[in-house]
Amino acid sequence: MKHPTEVIIRPLLTEKGTRLRTELNQYLFEVAADATKIDIANAIKSLYGVEVLKVRTMWVKPKPRRIGLRGVGHTRRWKKAIVTVKPGQTIEDFVV
């Protein structure tokens, strides 16, 4: 079993994430590439002390970026998780 800090890399604070948090009680996280949904649910449960109802994961594709005058590179590929928490519970890292 992985340590929770190895599974959850960082919380994502975006406009879409704010809307999901207020309307559907869902939170966005960047997670490790090899993390499973069960690993993510256990990590959220142990780090934040909330009950996880559902975990959805997706890969974020790399975007093209300029490097220098003519060079073209790409951003890195990373994994994102949308975690649904039991109604009435919140995660403190997202309170602004």
Residue-wise pLDDT tens digits, 12-35: 999 999 999 999 999 999 999 999
95 — pLDDT class (breaks 50, 70, 90): low
Residue 4 in this model has a pLDDT that exceeds 80: yes
Q: Is 30 exposed, middle or buried (0-12, 13-18, 19+ CB in 10 A)?
A: middle
Give the confidence band of 93 by pLDDT, cuts at 50, 70, 90: confident
Percent of residues, the chain, with pLDDT higher than 90: 86
DSSP state of 92: G
Decide: pTM greater than 0.85: yes
Q: Which residues contact 84 (CB under 8 A, 6 or more apart)?
A: 24, 25, 26, 52, 53, 54, 55, 56
**pLDDT, position 2:** 84
The Cα-based distances of 46 to 16, 27, 29, 33, 75 in angstroms read: 25, 15, 15, 20, 31
| Domains with residue ranges and CATH for the chain | 4-87 (3.30.70.330)
- From CA 20, how far away is CA 25, in angstroms rounded? 6
